[in-house]
Amino acid sequence: MKVAFVTPEFSPLARSGELGDVASSLPRFLAQKGLEVMVFMPRYRRPEIDSLPMELILPDLLVPLGEEKVRASVFKSEPGRFSLYLIDNPRFFYRPEIYGPASTGYLDNDARFIFFNRAVLEFFIQTKLEIDVIHCHNWPTALIPVFLRTHYKDWPPFKSVATVFTIHNAAYQGEFPPESLKLTGLNWDYFTPQRLSLNGRFNFLKAGLVFADIINTVSHFYKEEIEKRATSDELGIILRSLKDRFFSVRSGIDYEIWNPNQDPYLAANYNAQDISGKKICKKDLIKELGLTLSLDKPLVGLVSYFSYLKGIDLVIKSLKKIMQLDLGLVICGQGEESFAAELKEATANFPGRLVVKTEMSASLMHKIFAGVDLLLIPSREEPCGLNQFYAFRYGTIPLARAVGGLKETIIPFNPEDFSGNGFLFHAFSSRALVKALRQAIALYQKTELWEKLVRKVMKQDFSWSGPGEEYIQLYHRAMASRKGENKHE
């Protein structure tokens, strides 16, 4: 089976959230299973991408965009078991960010990603690359299913190409003015509530839902949450109407990259049988961050995008009460500048116990997951969440709000029968968060029991072994659906 992954993010080259991690780790698993995988992403101007070994394989690709044809170049790299293709156009991708400022995004994101979607399909035509399934991720790639069934519907090789569209977060939909439709080359007949418009705007996410063969999101509980919105949310209504082709597949993580037993970033390696190295990692993290916390005090981590949806405002509101619990707190992330500024300002009130880092690196992320005792995930919404999986893998206990994939994968710990693997709170309030933290710290102080829990969570499997197989089944389902459509036609 030949699968093309089309994504705006790919870790560690260009990442703003968990999509980047999924887009780099799932292809590795699929390739291991014998699938031929090609990943397509924009060639952003980033040092990580510029230093990548790559070859120019198509210097002059003409891509329709509105009434003009825009030139693109295509580069190819071989990062491992699959091929990585980078669509290059300085006008659209020579930018410091993937999407632009958190508050507004780049004002030409409609043109940027319409161009990217069509460039991928034009590349297939020019190179005559055979493909069975195109797996699209989030709104920036959602127009590929649309273009396949409109502009390219009479192109014979595309008739049997199936599409799978994954919603990693329905909060980000790619909403643009109706005039943006002109850039697609489609006529106004497509701008209807049955097709591309939602609340009077051109909605990329909706377009993908309507035209894709198979749709999925990244946890069962998040799928339920979206569908429950059907009474008040038009997107929920659409997804409920498409329930025969709407599925959920939980995300996974790459156990080769995230492996405390041989992680090159750590001060000491460790595993579920011998967790002594975790204390060395904690000591190393405390030293690196300049904390004055003693080793026997709990150290809490928060690795997140700084946004309203991730609950950063709740942390800021609760900070004084959290810090009264005699613990250390390390916060690492990027995002909305107002949140970052408030957090950095607060560090002056808790010297040696609160550190805020807004420069993220693979090294620091790995050190945090290994070095902290608890990982705080206070999200308003969380489609799947990968941080709890990284935490489990490194023997760090997650404390999260009971939403979406967090509720699905974190089971409240019960000391009586030793069931569960973490801590949850339900209400989006300081009181609920701090109460859960108190419970976690009370258990942390029972050293023997805590270490037993650490060993237990490290033995869980949140790799791609299960979810990856489910994606392969979705690909087969999409191909069968496409065959059925072709017969119908």
**Residue 90, both tokens:** 């300085």
Q: Tell me the per-residue pLDDT of 110-140, one tens digit each, with 9 for 90 and over.
A: 999 999 999 999 999 999 999 999 999 999 9
Could you state, in order of their start, the residue ranges of all structural domains in the chain?
Answer: 2-252+465-488, 276-458
Dihedral (CA of 414, 415, 417, 422) sign: positive
Residue 169: name the closest of 111, 226, 107, 120 by CA: 226
Q: How far apart are CA 280 and CA 453, in angstroms?
A: 18
**Residue 232: predicted pLDDT:** 57
Mean pLDDT of the region 83-94: 97
Count of C-beta atoms within a 10 Å radius of residue 442: 10
For residue 58, give Cα distances in angstroms to 38, 61, 88, 244, 440: 16, 7, 10, 39, 55
Strands 162-167 and 197-198: unpaired
Mean pLDDT of the region 232-252: 83
For the cut 80, the answer to whether the pLDDT of residue 255 exceeds it is yes
**Residue 101, both tokens:** 């400022």
SS3 per-residue string spanning 70-114: EEEEEEEECCCCCEEEEEECHHHHCCCCCCCCCCCCCCCHHHHHH
Q: Which amino acid is at 210?
A: V
What is the CATH topology of the domain spanning 2-252+465-488? Rossmann fold (3.40.50)
Q: Tell me the per-residue pLDDT of 325-341, one tens digit each, with 9 for 90 and over.
A: 999 999 999 888 899 99
**Residue 17: predicted pLDDT:** 85
CA 426 to mean position of chain CA atoms:
23
Dihedral (CA of 220, 221, 224, 225) sign: negative
**Residue 96: predicted pLDDT:** 82
Q: How far apart are CA 332 and CA 310, in angstroms?
A: 13
**What is the enclosing helix (H) or strand (E) of 60?**
strand 55-65
For the cut 60, the answer to whether the pLDDT of residue 487 exceeds it is no
CATH number of 276-458: 3.40.50.2000
Q: Tell me the per-residue pLDDT of 433-482, one tens digit each, with 9 for 90 and over.
A: 999 999 999 999 999 999 999 999 999 999 999 999 999 999 999 999 99
Given this chain, do its domains 2-252+465-488 and 276-458 carry the same CATH topology? yes
**Residue 282, both tokens:** 């904690």
Q: Tell me the per-residue pLDDT of 132-161, one tens digit each, with 9 for 90 and over.
A: 999 999 999 999 999 999 999 999 989 999
